Structure 1
Amino acid sequence: MKRLFIKQKLFSMGEKFTVKDHTEKDVYYVEGSFMKIPKTFSIRNASGEEVALITKKTFSFLPKFLVEVNGQEVLMIRKDFSILKPRYTIDAANIEVRGNWWEMDFQVLRQGKVVGYVSKKWFTWGDSYEVQILDEEMEKIIVAIVIAIDCVKADQANASTIHTSS
């Protein structure tokens, strides 16, 4: 089992952060597009090669986030129409996210088999997540899922702020 840690820095204008292993060594570098449309997050390995890309679709009625790993779309997170409380759906072939993904406490399954666990670390500055990888073949996908869900949550928080301050 491999453990990775994702810790976003508070007040990072460029939206840059790293994914570290249990020895604090940088494994992935994440960089968000700043003031660009469409909004993207690029995930690069230690060699600087892009291994995943998360893109917020700009021209859709409700928000959608596409996740590509190694150039192939692996999943989409889309907001469902709801009146009272925001609801989202994760669409992915052979991949399932089970648990409370809105609170970042969930399992990732591939064809019914658990391949990873994600849990939020509390009482830290910024958002921190521990990711346990059971199937190393799924590592990039699981890291991309965590970052994509975090993007969706941030987007929802920003939308709530805009609507309540108007």
Structure 2
Amino acid sequence: MKHLYIKQKVFSLSGKFTVKDQQEKDVYYVEGSFMKLPKTFSIMNTARDEVALITKKMFSFLPKFFVEVNGKEAVTIKKEFSFFKPRYTIEAAGIEVKGNWWDMNFQVLQHGEVVGSVSKEWFTWGDSYKVQIINEEMETIIIALVVAIDCVKADQSAAANSATM
């Protein structure tokens, strides 16, 4: 079992942050596009090779995000039409997210078997997540999923803040 930690910088305009292991060594680098359309997040390994890409669909009635891992589309996150509470669905072949993913406390299952879990670290400056990897073959997709869900949440928060101004 492997533990990884995602700590985002609060005032990073470009959305750059790292994913660290238990020894606090960088394992992945995440870079968001700044002032570029469509909005993307690139996840790179220590050799700076891109292993995952998250893209927000530009022209869509409701927000939609695509997650590619190793050049193949792996996950789609899309907002569903609802009147009260925001509701999103995660679509992936054989992958399911159970728990409260909106509050970043969930398990990732593949074909009904738990392959990883995510929990939000409280009382930290910026968003921090602890990611437990049970099936190391799923490591990249789990990291991409966490970054994508956080991107969806940030997008929703920005939309809510601009609506109140």
TM-score after normalising by structure 1: 0.99
AA aligned opposite 1:147: V
> What is the aligned partner in structure 2 of residue 93 from structure 1?
93
CA distance in 1 between counterparts of 2:80 and 2:35 reads 26
> What is the aligned partner in structure 2 of residue 6 from structure 1?
6
CA distance in 1 between counterparts of 2:116 and 2:3 reads 10
Within the alignment, does 1:46 sit opposite 2:46 as a pair?
yes
CA distance in 2 between counterparts of 1:82 and 1:158 reads 18
> What is the aligned partner in structure 1 of residue 139 from structure 2?
139
Uncovered stretches (5+) of structure 1, i.e. residues with no partner = none
Uncovered stretches (5+) of structure 2, i.e. residues with no partner = none
> What is the aligned partner in structure 1 of residue 155 from structure 2?
155
Equivalent residues in 2 for 1:25-36, closer than 5 Å: 25-36=25-36
AA aligned opposite 2:14: G
> What is the aligned partner in structure 1 of residue 68 from structure 2?
68
CA distance in 2 between counterparts of 1:108 and 1:87 reads 18
TM-score after normalising by structure 2: 0.99
The RMSD of aligned alpha carbons is 0.4
CA distance in 2 between counterparts of 1:117 and 1:14 reads 27
CA distance in 1 between counterparts of 2:14 and 2:2 reads 28
Structure 1 runs of 4+ off > 3 angstroms? none
- Equivalenced residue count is 165
CA distance in 2 between counterparts of 1:89 and 1:80 reads 7
CA distance in 1 between counterparts of 2:104 and 2:84 reads 21
> What is the aligned partner in structure 2 of residue 109 from structure 1?
109
> What is the aligned partner in structure 2 of residue 37 from structure 1?
37
Identity %: 71
Within the alignment, does 1:123 sit opposite 2:120 as a pair?
no
1:67 deviation in Å?
Answer: 0.2
1:88 deviation in Å?
Answer: 0.4
